Amino acid sequence: MKNLHAIIEAWFSALTAFVYKRKYRTLISVILITACFISQIPKITIDMRDESFFHDDDPILIEYNQFRDTFGQDDIFIVGLKPENGLTIPFLHTLVKLHHELESSLPYLHDISSLVNGRIVRGEEDTLFVEELMQSAPQNATEHEALLSLIDHYPLYRGYFISEDKSLASIIIKAEALVNPGSEDSILEFDGDTIETRDTGHKYLSNEQNIEIYEVIRKVTAKYENLGIDFHFAGTPVFVAEITKGIEKDLSMMMPLSFIMIILFLALLFRRISGVVFSLLIVMLSLLSSIGIMAMMGIPFTTVIQILPTFLIVVGISDSVHILAIFYKHFREHSDKQSAIVEAVGYAGLPVLMTSLTTALGLLSFAFADVKSIAQLGYVASIGVMMAFLYTVILLPALISIFPIKSKKLIADGKQPLSDRIFSLIARTTTRRPGLIIAVSTVIVVTAFYCALFLRFSHNAMTWFPEDSPIRIASDLIDKTNGGSVMLEVTVDSGSENGLYDPDLVQRLDQASVDILGISVHDIRAGQVRSIADILKETNRALNEDDSQAYVVPGNRELIAQELLLFESSGSDDLEDVSDSMYQIGRLSILAPFTDSIHYKDYVDKLSEYLERQFASETVNMTGHISLFIQITKHFITSMAKSYVFALIVITLLMLIMIARIRVGLLSMIANVVPIVLIFGIMGILKIPLDMSTILVGSIVLGLVVDDTIHFLHHFRKAYDHTNDVEEAVRITFFTTGRALVITSMVLCAGFFIYMASFLVANIRFGLLVGCAVIFALAADFFLIPALLSIVHKKRKMA
């Protein structure tokens, strides 16, 4: 093993010498390759939709898509209008105008509905009217009064178009599920003129298109401000648009800030322009190349992948700092650039390679994740880590070769610098009093572990927004007054064509919409349930002279069939929303509040139990956004379990190979796990849940800690081989690698803590946790590892 180490070190030295001589050729090649990757960046897309969490072959996604193919998009944009004086005539005029303006300006519009075009099915003598509630807004008090009583006559409006207390009117907007690429060339082609192709190039509504709709909604409604109406925007598509905006805002603010912090700290610590510029250049290039590769692979930016830039900054900085720290030391001593860089890469190349490999493999563990975007992060980030490694060992020597670097002599005043004195003190304490260090560590870890027990899983992306953000206020308001803003879709398959003509089944559907409103778990209670029964009840009432006694599902099959035929012929296409075209599958649309997906599961379980009883002889399926949320939660818990276990095993194995001593390798894993326990402890204390954004912190922490440990142990072993004395070896390691570790840790801390100035709560938490993790990782290597090492070596000496 020692031989192998020597061979690899020699190889790194040779590579560096080779690059150093062919500096311009190297630089040009690197620039050309990088340019290739960067040229792909414009192709990058953003996808914050809930679908982005699912693999294409995930049964839940397939079921959801099948549902969308039949019934269209399930989720809705809700524009809530809260007039200061209630449903006055001027307000209704505004509502009519706004409704029509939205209808004519929205792209990808499938359906827009509100009180304006609320369905009216009424009978007057022998005439049946199927019409819209407001052809025009009421002109006088009589019309106004008539309208208000009509609103009361249609129970379906309540909790949907108008809140129970009439304080909030809503415009409900549904986008098209499938968007057509819109080719005009083949417009004159009729079926049979050419052979039909299966692939029609249709795509489900994309993130950009969703945002496009939302922006038009905001632009149109902006014209109606200052009319004494409060506007509130909610619903899952609004959430998607807002989170995209939030993430873009944070990325565009925090990335530059993070870079500035890193520049500042690098400058402060290295006091050399080269140290700042070279490190930064390497980080930037590997980041840009990785994003280019992402674009090439067709992987979009998602809520998960947005941590990639930060992550690659961490890795890239640490790679170059470790080599530069040793380079500057040699350069100061010998003033020879070439020998200094050859020496530095030869010395630190292997640990940098090993840290890159462990990190990349740890990340690759995500590739097995059930959450698609986490799996994608696994591919991209592991590629990115290796890119950072390559840029470091190839570009750094070339840059050093090309640009002049001043040689600074140490000012020898006979006194050790403060940092060295601190290092010596730590080395002395940890190696002489290992028992104390371990006891203190144990107390801290046990406390953290206890706090970590309060950790809970959660997936409520709404809490990623600050509490006073408009989207949260709007969601809360609409959930409270209307009872919901998120859809859960139930399909009831009767098993045969025209199965929905069966009065018993339709009556059970009708009963279900009453019963479901009574089901409540964790304060989740549906605000509204719609089904085909509603249309039949309205039609039946209208056919019976508007007698409210007749607001029931007809009792015989023929009448149901004929009423449906009548409704079909009335000009309304509302049946498409409640049944498939064969009258085989009925749909129950349940509108529920936006809350934690963990709670949805219990609610849906209870609901499902009820539905199985209510529709024992039919096939019941559940889909819609709530169903997606539940699956996302399940998936990320299993993803996390799988990838943590995989990463732990792989990293342990690599540590053992690297360190080549089983006992030391296993002991070092203790030091690797401790910071993770501490982070979970902090999350427990601060009540930060394990959700889609914090779940990834663990892996980043593991990557960081392991890197620190590898660097530390690598240099310690060399020093120990020389000195055969633990304290001396630890001190030597502190002076070289230790210094580099402190530098990288300070740089990274600054880079991450700055994220606490973010807009999105998720990013604030992320910055806080990763920043703490950096400190914990450093502490573990500075205190725990030396203590553990001294115990191991003491025992050996005694033996």
Partner 1 sequence: MKTLTSSIFTLLILTLILPSLAGADDPKARAIMEKVDARDDGDHQTADMKMILIDKNGNQRKRGIRSFSKDMGEDSFRLMFFREPADVRDTGFLTYDYDDPDRDDDQWLYLPALKKTKRIASSDKSGSFMGSDLSYSDMTSRNLDDYDFTLKKEMEVKGHPVWLIESIPRNKKVIKETGYTKSLIFVRQDNYFVIRGINWLKNGGYLKYLDTRTLEQIDGVWVGTEMHITKKKGKKVVHKTELYWNNVRFNQDLADDLFTIRRLEKGL
Query: Contact positions toward partner 1, by CB under 8 A?
Result: 69-70, 108-111, 123, 126-131, 176, 178, 180-183, 186-188, 190-192, 197, 200-202, 497-498, 501, 543, 554, 556-563, 565-566, 568-573, 580-582
Nearer to partner 1 among residue 123 and residue 246 (C-beta): 123
Tell me how crowded residue 154 is: count the other CB atoms within 10 A of its CB: 20
Min CB(77)–partner 1 separation in Å:
16
Q: Which is nearer to partner 1, 70 or 424 (CB)?
A: 70
Beta carbon nearer to partner 1, 188 or 799: 188
The conformational region for residue 557 under phi > 0 = left, psi -120 to 50 = alpha, else beta, is alpha
Least separation in angstroms between CB 495 and partner 1:
14
DSSP string, 106-152: -TTEEEEESGGG-EEEEEETTEEEEEES-SS---SHHHHHHHHHHHH
Which CB sits closer to partner 1, 176 or 538? 176
Distance separating alpha carbons of residues 333 and 335, to the nearest angstrom: 6
State the minimum distance, in angstroms, from the CB of residue 545 to partner 1.
Answer: 10
Q: 646: helix, coil or strand? A: helix
Residue nearer to partner 1 on the CB measure, 183 or 226: 183
Taking the complex as a whole, the smallest distance from the CB of residue 269 to partner 1 amounts, in Å, to 59
Alpha-carbon gap, residue 708 to 699, rounded angstroms: 14
**Widest CA span of the chain, in angstroms?**
111
Q: Which is nearer to partner 1, 116 or 282 (CB)?
A: 116
Single-letter residue type at 218:
R
CB of 588 to partner 1, least distance (A): 20
| Shortest distance (Å) from residue 327 CB to partner 1 | 60
Task: For tokens 């001294």, name the residue.
Answer: 790
Q: How far apart are the first and last CA of the chain?
A: 24
Q: Which is nearer to partner 1, 70 or 621 (CB)?
A: 70
Residues in the chain: 799
Residue 328 or 583 having the CB closest to partner 1: 583
Retrieve residue 640's tokens: 């996390």
Geometric angle at alpha carbon 37, from 34 and 42, rounded to 5°: 130
Whole-number Å distance between alpha carbons of 248 and 245: 5
- With CA atoms as reference, report the closest residue to 461 among 695, 623, 213: 695
Nearer to partner 1, 562 or 723 (CB): 562
Q: Which is nearer to partner 1, 105 or 252 (CB)?
A: 105
Least distance (Å) from partner 1 to the CB of residue 78? 20
Cα 641 to Cα 662: distance, rounded to the nearest angstrom: 25
Question: How is residue 324 written in tokens?
Answer: 């530069």
Shortest Cβ distance from residue 108 to partner 1 (Å)?
8
**Using the 8-state DSSP alphabet, how is residue 403 labeled?**
S
The minimum distance between CB 506 and partner 1, in angstroms, equals 13
E strand map for 198-253: 203-204, 229-234
Shortest Å distance, C-beta 569 to partner 1: 6
Q: Which is nearer to partner 1, 198 or 796 (CB)?
A: 198
The strand order across the sheet containing 109-113 reads: 109-113, 169-175, 77-83, 229-234
Alpha carbons within 13 angstroms on the beta-carbon side of residue 165 total: 10
d(CA 323, CA 736): 10
**Least distance in angstroms from the C-beta of 619 to partner 1:** 16
Cβ proximity to partner 1, 501 vs 752, nearer residue: 501
Considering beta carbons, is residue 174 or 459 the nearer one to partner 1? 174
CB atoms within 10 A of CB 495: 10
SS3 252: helix
For residue 71, give the nearest of 531, 563, 501, 506 by alpha carbon. Answer: 531
CB of 200 to partner 1, least distance (A): 4
Residue with Cβ nearer partner 1 (184 or 467): 184
Tokens of 311: 């992550």
Nearest-approach distance from CB 750 to partner 1, in angstroms: 51
Record the tokens describing residue 15, joined without a space.
């590579």
Looking at the Cβ atoms of 76 and 658, the one nearer to partner 1 is 76
Minimum distance between the CB of residue 639 and partner 1, rounded to whole angstroms?
Answer: 33
Please answer whether residues 465 and 765 qualify as being in contact, where contact means their C-beta atoms are separated by less than 8 angstroms.
Answer: no
Distance between CA 78 and CA 594 in Å, rounded?
Answer: 13
Q: d(Cα 154, Cα 86) in Å, to the nearest integer?
A: 19
SS (H, E, C) 729-749: HHHHHHHHHHHHHHHHHHHHH
- Least Å from the CB of residue 562 to partner 1: 4
CB of 126 to partner 1, least distance (A): 6
Which residue type is seen at 181?
P
Question: Burial code of 101-129, b = ≥16 C-beta within 10 A, e = fewer?
Answer: ebbeebebbebbbbbbbbbbbbbeeeeee
Chain Cα centroid distance, residue 714 = 36
User: What does DSSP say about strands 169-175 and 109-113: parallel, antiparallel, or unpaired?
Assistant: antiparallel
Question: Smallest distance, Å, CB 549 to partner 1?
Answer: 15
3-state DSSP call for residue 371?
Answer: strand
Which of 550, 555, 556, 579 is closest to 567 using CA atoms?
A: 579
d(CA 176, CA 612): 31
84 or 558: whose CB is closer to partner 1? Answer: 558
Nearer to partner 1, 176 or 707 (CB): 176
Position 69, amino acid? D
